[in-house]
A and B are shown apart, each in its own frame.
Chain A
């Protein structure tokens, strides 16, 4: 069965500091991994897809199949990055399994 683990419920950093949000997954097939972000009182938004290897708002994430990880990184955090971040694994288009989320707070 697929599972996504985000070990940190809360993460607090200062503005300008590097940030890494951890995500580990368990899946026997070839995973499709995503990061979604939810700003306060807003809908979830797609932030990154591993397949596109893109950088959005300064965030990047690399899929490490050996470590079954898909950590989200940003070299210099900004206050507007404060939000809930969810790692998600998609197994076929019908099933998107989420981690429990990490609340990132960027302090001034």
Chain B
């Protein structure tokens, strides 16, 4: 089944403890992206990647890092999480032809205490 897989689905952590949210897609998509979803703010792009080793900042990149060492994987790294990063995170991927739209993962609900 073609899909975007995120792990974990739920995560509670403490301020300052480094964490990684994994994202993997099996559709050979070139584009991958991370979004955070907050009430009243909708979805905002954190980082995106156009291909292996090519990444760039989205609208809200502060406090996040990403890497794209393999085409299928696009992990989101929080080096020192803070409570304002408590949110619902979505990974998404898209083929080169943007008319197909993005396929989203199931989301990761992160709570930083």
Using a CB–CB cutoff of 8 Å, the interface residues on chain A facing chain B are 9, 32, 34, 36, 42-46, 49, 51-52, 86, 90, 92-101
Nearest-Cβ distance from residue A67 to partner chain B, whole angstroms: 22
Instruction: Please give me the residue from chain B that is nearest to A42 by CB atom.
Output: B106
Residues from 9 to 35 in B contacting A, C-beta threshold 8 Å: 30-31, 33, 35
Q: How far is the CA of A85 from the CA of B103 in the complex (A)?
A: 15
- A-B pair count, CB < 8 Å, reads 63
Interface size on B, residues (CB 8 A): 31
Chain A residues lying within 8 Å of B81, measured Cβ to Cβ, are: none
Query: Which among A42, A86, A90 is the interface contact of B43 at CB below 8 angstroms?
Result: A86
Nearest CB to that of B107 among chain A residues? A43
CA distance A44 to B33 in the complex (A): 14
List B contacts of A43 (CB < 8 A).
Answer: 90, 104-107
Q: Are B102 and A46 in contact (CB under 8 A)?
A: yes
Cβ distance A15 to chain B, nearest Cβ, rounded Å: 27
Complex CA distance for A11 and B86, rounded to whole angstroms? 27
Residues A46 and B43 in contact in the complex (CB < 8 Å), given A90-B98, A93-B94, A94-B50 = no
In this complex, what residue of A is CB-closest to B30? A93
Q: Mark B93-105, 1 if CB is under 8 A from A, else 0.
A: 0111111111111
A90, B33: Cα distance in complex, Å: 13
**Contact (Cβ within 8 A) B99 A44:** no
Chain A residue nearest to B106 (CB atoms) is A43
Choose from B42, B45, B102 the contact partner of A99 (Cβ within 8 Å).
Answer: B42
CB-defined contacts of A49 to chain B, threshold 8 Å: 99-101
> What separation, in Å, do the CA atoms of A100 and B50 have in the docked complex?
25
Q: List 17 A-B contacts (CB under 8 A).
A: A32-B99, A43-B107, A46-B102, A51-B99, A86-B43, A90-B101, A93-B30, A93-B31, A93-B50, A93-B94, A94-B33, A94-B49, A94-B56, A95-B48, A97-B45, A98-B35, A100-B41
